Structure 1
Amino acid sequence: MIKDLLQQKFAATLDDNLISEISEKGIFKTFKQNEIIIDINEPLNFIPLLLSGDIKILREDNEGNELLIYFLEAGDTCTMSLTCCLGTTKSKIRAVAEKDSSLVLIPVQNMQTWFHNNESWRNFILQSYQIRFDEMLEAIDSLAFMKMDERLYKYLKNKVMLNDTKTIHIKHQDIAEDLNTSRVVVSRLLKQLENESKIKLGRNKIVVI
């Protein structure tokens, strides 16, 4: 079963022998929506390969406020956890299941061995670094150069792309926590976006037009 899931999501990037080895040595885990997968300051002995679902990667300031950095989709890995594993440091991020998700956890020693011995794994890791780096630059640009209403609309459009549906089931408070702002601000800006005919608001749901 795990091997079939790996082939579905990673056959285009990882060779068959490596997929077989991952299915043997990796640990299959499932997480419910909103369950924490990796927490800040947690020692990391594995890296995750996401088979199904979505994961959001968050940073936290000294006051405990969270900020969304990027999302992971099926077929992705978290390069920030890779960096912590390679440096044998504690996690600097929090990974939370955006929806029910399944993963294969790869022990760090295997990850390091494959990086040196397997070209497809090495290419996959380097490409993942580039993708996540670009996403972090985009997150920094949003914080530095975009107004909150623009950040909010971009957030909603990313949710639409991630879930492949124009209807998003989410509370205003959850959006506020992801964007590190207040629920009142989010509610006001959502109403503004509705008045601009960009979205349609419902009870705990938003339709992006």
Structure 2
Amino acid sequence: MAIKDTPEEWQVTATAVPFTGNKTSVRTDDVVMPDGSVVRRDYQVHPGSVAVLALDDEDRVLLIRQYRHPVRHRLWEIPAGLLDVPGENPLSAAQRELYEEAHVKAEDWRVLADIYPTPGGCDEAVRIFFARGLSAAEGERFLVEEEEADMEHARVPLPELVRGVLAGELHNTCLVTGVLALTAALAGDGIDALRPAGTPWPARPFDA
């Protein structure tokens, strides 16, 4: 048997949306189980996200640090953001986030990993890109507000981040996944073997 995730959809006999927020909502589905019973499943409906693991010419990863209220922590993260527009090209969204959060642009883009961060309670899908060939973006910096107004920046060598992940000091899903995936890629077939930036993404189909 191939170890590969496959799409599947069980019968839903009823659905409701008890809460709708600014960017996400909560849906309640009554789902038919294999034994014929019907159980209720509540989950967050999410537009999807992109994240960017950007590596500079000194093999340092570009990081941001900001407060995350649900977990009451200030976390080190890689630049990331929502897919705010239906059908939005994820590469364009990732390039925008790198500019807005770090005022940086990149020449070379690849797909590093596609993940479902919390599939038991949320339908969010995240595409993590790898970017290199970094340089400062032109023009004025993007105007930040709310949590982002207190954002910090750093560039950290990849091995130091691996150590932090394994020591339980770094927790952000995209940072952890991206750092370990890049480490595996470098130890395996290399960066050039990563998928092209425009690779189809069934979890969030997009316009070319």
TM-score bracket relative to the smaller structure: under 0.3
TM-score, structure 1 as length reference: 0.28
Higher helix share: 1
Higher strand share: 2
